[in-house]
Structure 1
Amino acid sequence: MGKVSAGATMSLDGYIAGPEESGFDLLFQWYGNGEVEIPSASPDVPPIRLSAASAELIKSEWENTGALLVGRYLYDMTNAWGGRHPMNVTTVVLTHQRPVDRPEDDENFVFVTEGIEAAVAKAKELAGDKNVGVNGGQMARQCLEAGLLDAVGIELVPILLGGGKKLFDELAATPVEFDGPITVVEGTGVTHLRYRVNK
């Protein structure tokens, strides 16, 4: 069975979004500063173009991901990525209430209302032997607090946002220790760091 891994692009001062959901243009410059194109399965999200070092890591991780877990906030904010996540895998959405325009689950989106444990279990079922990717700070925090998170990936970019949202905002139990970094990859405009959760 695969691992459950959360990840985020982060500024040097520790923010995954700036004040009032700003700064994404700066945070994600590395998505378009290279020569290697990675296609997108989303009709609303163009392919990304990464440096060779970044592309090698990201391609491998995408190929080994069998399902994603996101919260309703990210699902709504991205307008459901136009109907399919760019990574081309089924996305489990943890929500209090399923969207009215999605009365049934399909190969693109599965909605879970029973809490983080049920959402992770469903994502693992869908992923099979592959990994589950957790996207969004609130989902990452809930997984970590529930003891369900195996790894964390940080894409560290050389900017300062001065405030905003952190990956593990309002974490209930601290400190939390990680092993690593077990992987360090220097891309163009980004350093990729991978850690294991010390359980």
Structure 2
Amino acid sequence: MSEIYTCATMSIDGYISGPAESGFEHLFHWYGSGDVEVPTANPQRTLKMSAASAKYFTELSANTGALVVGRKLFDAVNGWGGRHPMNVPVVVLSHGVPDGWPRVGSPFTFVSGGIEEAVAVAGKLAGGRAVGVNGGTIARQCLNAGLLDEVLIDLVPVLLGGGTKFFDQLADAPVVLEGPISTVEGRGVTHLRYGVRRS
């Protein structure tokens, strides 16, 4: 079975977006704060990171075989224009399929049966590599269902003061994590990796 992880860029006070979906210029500044070019599936979108962040990002991408995201994120980014920047299959957990989808050759699969179904489908698509689930509601559902193996945090030195938390409304808090398993110092970001302790 594929390893399941969640990864999000987070402010020091624990938010993955600020009030009214703000703060992204601070959270994702590290995507363009370096000299190392990191190509994505979108030819018009090349990232420029510090050497440490580029190594971390490319290794994570290479080890990821599929993603699970929610409908809110899918709609907010307009389906990434038809292909996720990591160029892997994406399972979208949604109550319904949006207009115009699925498209022929699309890497998106829509499921409505809950987080367990979404993770199972992603695991089959991942080809033995890891499955990444996006932060917020999807990460919480995955953790509450006992499916999450690791939590990766791209910690940015900003205080947003409110917004969407990485984790909220946990069923069995506190949740004890192992680690950090690894720490990578980038430019304007610290990449942290933790294991989820099984009870």
Q: Report the TM range for the smaller structure's normalisation.
A: over 0.9
Partner of 2:6: 6
Q: Write the mapping of 1:116-135 to structure 2, written as runs, cut at 5 A.
A: 116-135=115-134
The residue type paired with residue 71 of structure 2 is: R
Structure 2 contact 82–106 (Cα < 8 Å) conserved: no
Structure 2 contact 102–109 (Cα < 8 Å) conserved: no
- Which one is further off, 183-192 or 94-103? 94-103
Partner of 1:75: 74
- Distance in 2, matches of 1:19 and 1:160, equals 12
**Which runs of structure 1 show a deviation greater than 6 angstroms over 4 or more consecutive aligned residues?**
none
Partner of 2:190: 191
Partner of 1:154: 153
Structure 1 contact 65–131 (Cα < 8 Å) conserved: yes
Partner of 1:166: 165
Does structure 1 residue 21 correspond to structure 2 residue 21? yes
Partner of 1:42: 42
CA positional deviation for 1:104: 6.0
CA positional deviation for 1:164: 0.8
Q: Gaps (5+ residues) in structure 2?
A: none
Q: TM-score, structure 1 length as denominator?
A: 0.96
Q: Gaps (5+ residues) in structure 1?
A: none
- Distance in 2, matches of 1:100 and 1:189, equals 39
CA positional deviation for 1:134: 0.7
CA offsets per residue over residues 98-148 of structure 1, 9 Å max, x none? 112114674410111111100000000000210001113111000000001
- Distance in 2, matches of 1:95 and 1:168, equals 20
Instruction: Give the RMSD, CA atoms, in angstroms.
Output: 1.3
Structure 1 contact 74–136 (Cα < 8 Å) conserved: no
Q: Secondary structure at the match of 2:8?
A: strand
- Distance in 2, matches of 1:117 and 1:71, equals 13
CA offsets per residue over residues 47-103 of structure 1, 9 Å max, x none? 111100111111011001000100000000001111100000011000001112114
CA positional deviation for 1:2: 3.0
Structure 1 contact 42–83 (Cα < 8 Å) conserved: no
Q: Secondary structure at the match of 1:92?
A: strand
- Distance in 1, matches of 2:63 and 2:46, equals 19
CA positional deviation for 1:42: 3.1
- Distance in 2, matches of 1:99 and 1:157, equals 33
Q: Aligned residue pairs: how many? A: 198
- Distance in 2, matches of 1:198 and 1:67, equals 23
CA offsets per residue over residues 143-164 of structure 1, 9 Å max, x none? 0000010001000011111111
CA offsets per residue over residues 21-59 of structure 1, 9 Å max, x none? 00001100000001111111136x611111001111110
Structure 1 contact 69–93 (Cα < 8 Å) conserved: yes
- Distance in 1, matches of 2:175 and 2:130, equals 22
Q: Secondary structure at the match of 2:164?
A: coil
CA offsets per residue over residues 3-36 of structure 1, 9 Å max, x none? 1000110111111100000000110000000111
The residue type paired with residue 96 of structure 2 is: Q
